[in-house]
Amino acid sequence: MKERLTQLMQEAEKKMSCISSLQEAEELRIKLLGKKGELTEMLKGMKSLAPEERKSFGQAANEARAKIENTLNERMEYFRNAQKELALAAEKVDVTEPAVPCELGSRHLLSVTIDEITSCFRSMGFSVSEGPEVETVFNNFDALNAGPNHPARDMTDTFYITDDVLLRTQTSPVQVRTLLSQKPPIKVIAPGRCFRCDTPDATHSPMFHQVEGLVVDEGITMADLKGVLDQFAKQMFGSSTRTKFRPHHFPFTEPSAEMDVSCFKCGGKGCKVCKGSGWIEILGCGMVHPNVLKVGGIDTEKYTGFAFGMGVERVAMLKYEVDDIRLLYENDIRFVKQFK
């Protein structure tokens, strides 16, 4: 039996020296020292030995067991450390390495323009209000004095959702919402999206943006309208900008006008931007029609007001010389990132 032990030990030592992984070490431990391991079995067989032999064999077997255990533990420790080192090396962070550049986006030209327009009016004490893009026909047309036969009500111009609900064709319904929810003095602008059934081309889009304005107070006159809008034009297009007002018609204002600004590109001499006229049409405006004020229950003997509305795309395209409205929606990064 002693010889078998010596042989087992020799073989074990050989095997232990060729272990190449933690798993192999564990397998060998089970093979030798496990419940049914070779050495365990040998120890079990000790019973059959004579008592004097049993003692010395027992001692030798225990020494062998301790030796195997120690060696295997050392090997295991070695592989555990190696694994840890590997993991650490893989997770190592080089804090001196230059960071992956994170490209910062830029604001969209329409947002830039809305912010510019809004901040002009904010500086004149206007607050900013928003309304829903899905509106009632009442707020979009009737309350704005656009009777049932008004051409804008035609199905071809407007996206109707039901007979009474539509995608707003203008930001003017925010006037109605404001008049219904606030009391004068009112001084508000409303930027937002509008929708019309237009086939897209260089100057048309079925979705576009407007900024609406409304002022209602005692003693408001056309002079206030002209003063505020002239100041806006100077802030927006440069301090030497001149304005002129041409008579026009809108159902919700009386009298109504369109405001032109002197061309900020050529100063009024005539160029491509102003199509040779020296003037550029910028917005619609007028004194709020008493019928509109009455919707909000406002005393039209006491209060008057003015309103205006402008297309954001138009302002942006003129100011930044963009010649196709579709560029604003295609989101080609080469176009979009030119404007901060």
- Contact positions toward ligand DAH, by CB under 6 A? 170, 172, 212, 250, 253, 284-286, 307-309
Measured from the CB of residue 135, what is the shortest distance to ligand DAH in angstroms? 13
Considering beta carbons, is residue 139 or 253 the nearer one to ligand DAH? 253
Considering beta carbons, is residue 208 or 264 the nearer one to ligand DAH? 208
Task: Please state, in angstroms and rounded to a whole number, the distance separating the CA atoms of residues 145 and 97.
Answer: 66
Measured from the CB of residue 277, what is the shortest distance to ligand DAH in angstroms? 20
Point out the residue whose Cβ comes nearest to ligand DAH.
Answer: 309
Task: Please state, in angstroms and rounded to a whole number, the distance separating the CA atoms of residues 338 and 331.
Answer: 11
Considering beta carbons, is residue 28 or 220 the nearer one to ligand DAH? 220
The amino acid that residue 167 corresponds to is L
Q: What is the DSSP letter of 157?
A: T
Measured from the CB of residue 290, what is the shortest distance to ligand DAH in angstroms? 14
Three-class DSSP category at 282: strand
Burial status of residue 222 (CB atoms within 10 A of its CB: 0-12, 13-18, 19 or more): middle
Q: Give Cβ neighbours of residue 202 (< 8 Å, ≥ 6 apart).
A: 323, 324, 325, 326
Considering beta carbons, is residue 140 or 262 the nearer one to ligand DAH? 140
Considering beta carbons, is residue 172 or 178 the nearer one to ligand DAH? 172
Measured from the CB of residue 332, what is the shortest distance to ligand DAH in angstroms? 28
C-alpha closest to that of 138 among 119, 158, 114, 164: 164
Measured from the CB of residue 285, what is the shortest distance to ligand DAH in angstroms? 5
The first and second tokens of residue 160, run together, are 């109707």
List C-alpha distances in Å: 99 to 44, 91, 93, 124.
Answer: 64, 16, 11, 45
